[in-house]
Amino acid sequence: MNITGLVEHIGAKKSMLCVGLDTVAEKLPKGFEKNTAGMLAFNKEIVEATKDLAVSYKINTAFYEALGLEGWDLLEKTRAILPEDSFKIADAKRGDIGNTSSMYAKAFFERMDFDGLTVAPYMGSDSIQPFLDYTDKVTIVLGLTSNQGSVDFQTNPIYQPQLYKTVLQSISTWGTTEQLMFVIGATKAEMLSEIRGIIPRHFLLVPGVGAQGGSADDVCRHGATSNGGLLINSSRGILYASSGSDFAEVARSQAQKIASATADFL
């Protein structure tokens, strides 16, 4: 699915919800084996409970890579269970010299057939271009993150303009709005209006709603565009909303709250 397909999907579902599958064996509800088999079974239940509400799913690859060969197998099996009509994101934050980035792009865009891949911009244009060479895929560049360390470089006032603004402005010229998306943390919602002045038409992937304290309503008020323009991600707030046998029902309820909040802006 490309951006055009994503826009159509958002319009049809009246939702900008992205569900993050940051699955951890130790956090699985009772009844699931605390291993990769249990994680896959859990992922299937979450997808089944949310597939009519979510337009996108984001797999944070670190939670799978940490498990070695079994984790990589789980990653590919989880990718395979995602609905075909969803926008499928590998949250891998890759980025390296050109020939290495080419291999990362091949792994995630060809072998595993993800629609979008998160990319770190620090090494500059030649580290991002190999991803942009896949014109039917979406390169999702880190723009402004919610972690405490973001003040070290991204919003540090010694840089004028602030470094994240330079990143957004520069990278937005390297590809089209069909090829590029940017990550903007939900806890920075009040900054979205200014960000929209820099990148008015690009889609934004906004993590941090739910467990990290971000508000879907605030994000939409400051960042939504005429075609939606947002993928609002919640991971822990949906996955682990309940540790009981009602986990899927409660996960769906949490997903419904976010989807409904975004529908008001479509």
The 3-state DSSP class for residue 125 equals: helix
Q: Which CATH class is domain 3-261?
A: alpha beta
The 3-state DSSP class for residue 53 equals: coil
Query: Which stretches within 32-180 are classed as H helix?
Result: 36-50, 62-65, 69-81, 98-105, 125-132, 150-153, 163-171
- Predicted pLDDT of residue 211: 55
Q: Which residues are catalytic?
A: 93
- What would the pLDDT profile of 205-221 be if each residue is shown by its tens digit? 999 886 566 789 999 99
- Predicted pLDDT of residue 210: 63
Nearest CA to 132 out of 162, 175, 163 is that of 175
The 3-state DSSP class for residue 17 equals: strand
The one-letter amino acid code at 174 reads: W
Q: What's the average model confidence in pLDDT over 150-166?
A: 95
Q: Is there a contact between 105 and 117 (Cβ–Cβ < 8 Å)?
A: yes
Q: Is there a contact between 138 and 116 (Cβ–Cβ < 8 Å)?
A: yes
Of the pLDDT bands very low, low, confident and very high (cuts 50, 70, 90), residue 189 is confident
- Predicted pLDDT of residue 215: 86
- What would the pLDDT profile of 16-58 be if each residue is shown by its tens digit? 999 999 999 999 999 999 999 999 999 999 999 999 999 999 9
Q: Which residues pair with 118 in a beta bridge?
A: 140
- Predicted pLDDT of residue 186: 72
Find the helix or strand (DSSP H, E) in which 263 lies.
helix 247-263
The residue extents of the domains of the chain are 3-261
The answer, yes or no, to whether residue 183 has pLDDT greater than 80, is yes
Of the pLDDT bands very low, low, confident and very high (cuts 50, 70, 90), residue 259 is very high
The dihedral formed by the CA atoms of 51, 55, 57 and 58, expressed in degrees to the nearest 10: -160
- Predicted pLDDT of residue 146: 86
